[in-house]
């Protein structure tokens, strides 16, 4: 079983590359953003709670996110592996994920970070916001707040996974095909 954590700042290309990884390696793609958006669209209690945080550009609290992801893993017992997209975002979430997977006789195989310059990413998101309909992609102040949240809470994951020998950085700038090739090279080396 292969379990990959894919992370990077909003706009770094996680969603695009997750589709490739899901298909090539037969992984179950668990995107917290997609799961939250589904719940928001369907106005579930979880969706409304998540929306209250997302509308401010804040991260959804750990407990809500962890319980949601555990439930999604449990729904896919026959999976060949999981691609965690947008999770974990904090050390506490990473520790909870490790404990949960260890309890199932599994673990994280690798974490791959798509890296890119903030200014390039801000422009990507503003462009995406013109067609996505996502309010959080249309306001530069909210985008920059999301990056501040990332820098404060998510960036420490680099050290956490480096200490486990599981961290791999991939340049997220270039064509989709170029970034895909870089990702494939990392996974082939595992």
Active-site amino acid positions = 14, 89, 128, 134, 146
**C-alpha span between 17 and 29 (Å, rounded):** 11
Of the candidates 179, 147, 168, 189, the residue with the CA atom closest to the CA atom of residue 19: 179
Length of the chain, in residues: 190
| CA atoms within 13 Å, Cβ hemisphere of 107 | 7
CA 28 to centroid of chain Cα atoms: 13
Give the Cα separation of 126 and 113 in Å (integer). 22
Q: Which residues make beta-bridge pairs with 119?
A: none
Local structure of 143: helix, strand or coil: helix
């Amino acid at each position: 079983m292969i379990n990959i954590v894919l992370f990077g700042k909003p706009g770094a290309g996680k969603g695009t590359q997750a589709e490739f990884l899901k298909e090539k390696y037969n992984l179950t793609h668990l995107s917290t953003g997609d799961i939250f958006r589904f719940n928001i669209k369907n106005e579930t209690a979880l969706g409304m709670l998540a929306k209250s945080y997302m509308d401010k550009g804040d991260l959804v609290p750990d407990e809500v996110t962890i319980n949601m992801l555990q439930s999604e893993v449990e729904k896919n017992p026959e999976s060949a592996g999981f691609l965690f997209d947008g999770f974990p975002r904090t050390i506490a979430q990473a520790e909870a994920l490790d404990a949960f997977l260890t309890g199932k006789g599994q673990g994280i195989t690798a974490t791959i970070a798509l890296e890119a310059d903030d200014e390039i990413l801000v422009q990507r998101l503003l462009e995406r916001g013109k067609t996505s309909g996502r309010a959080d992609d249309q306001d530069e102040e909210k985008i920059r707040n999301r990056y501040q949240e990332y820098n404060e809470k998510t960036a420490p994951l680099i050290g956490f996974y480096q200490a486990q020998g599981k961290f791999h950085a991939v340049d997220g700038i270039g064509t989709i095909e170029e970034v895909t090739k870089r990702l494939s090279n990392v996974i082939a080396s595992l």
